[in-house]
Amino acid sequence: KNEVEQSPQNLTAQEGEFITINCSYSVGISALHWLQQHPGGGIVSLFMLSSGKKKHGRLIATINIQEKHSSLHITASHPRDSAVYICAVHDNTDKLIFGTGTRLQVFP
């Protein structure tokens, strides 16, 4: 079993839909990242959080430390949001452990 699990693996949506991607982890962590990876490989860090909730534009990330669970929400989705979204955690040795990613496609 992977230490960081994401669901769903693949997600398709119509433009304007509200999207949720989930991440569960089984190790002790100091922080959790949500990353976006576009075709070609470049990774952009969207959020780093260790408690509560963060919001940036149409993106919202939440984390529940007790339940070892985080969610990434995208409101009013747009085709340019199409990418792979990766959850990664800093474990207690400060190593980053990644999920396998959620491939999102948003159609106009």
Interface with other proteins, residue 25, by CB under 8 A: no
Q: Which residue's CB is nearer to other proteins, number 14 or number 45?
A: 45
State which of positions 34-53 bind other proteins (CB under 8 A). 35, 40-45, 48
Least distance to other proteins, CB of residue 91, Å? 10
How many residues contact other proteins, by CB under 8 A?
24
Interface with other proteins, residue 30, by CB under 8 A: yes
> The dihedral of CA 17, 61, 34, 28: what is its sign?
negative
Length of the chain: 108
Least distance to other proteins, CB of residue 2, Å? 9
Of 61, 72, 58, the C-alpha closest to 16 is 58
11 residue type, one letter: L
> The dihedral of CA 46, 50, 55, 60: what is its sign?
positive
